[in-house]
């Protein structure tokens, strides 16, 4: 999952590592196509799908990077 002010390394490193291993990865945000700026302001990430458009049963695992994103997504 990704949201506003996410922690750069905690999002990008696991994402790239999983993709390198051939894992099918979906970036879930508040809205599909929405772009979020990292906590440091240096990187952006775009959601593939919105949280309301998916079901937890579609996933084997969920990764939520820190920063302010978890709190903002929760609200």
1 belongs to a structural domain = no
74 or 19, greater pLDDT: 19
Number of domains in the chain: 1
68 or 61, greater pLDDT: 61
The DSSP code for 67 is B
In terms of residue numbers, what domain contains 47? Answer: 8-74
pLDDT in tens, 14-28: 999 999 999 999 999
* Res 42: pLDDT: 86
Q: Is 60 exposed, middle or buried (0-12, 13-18, 19+ CB in 10 A)?
A: exposed
68 belongs to a structural domain = yes
66 belongs to a structural domain = yes
* 26, 51 contact by CB (below 8 A): no
Of 30-34, 50-54, 62-66, the poorest mean pLDDT is in 62-66
* Res 66: pLDDT: 73
pTM given for the model: 0.83
56 belongs to a structural domain = yes
């Amino acid at each position: 999952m990704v949201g506003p002010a996410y922690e750069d390394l905690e999002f990008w490193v696991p994402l790239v590592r999983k993709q390198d291993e051939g894992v099918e990865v979906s970036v879930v945000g508040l809205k599909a196509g929405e772009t979020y700026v990292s906590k440091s302001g240096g990187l952006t990430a775009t959601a593939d799908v919105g949280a309301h458009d998916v079901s937890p049963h579609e996933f084997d695992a969920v990764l939520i990077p820190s920063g302010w994103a978890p709190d903002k997504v929760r609200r």
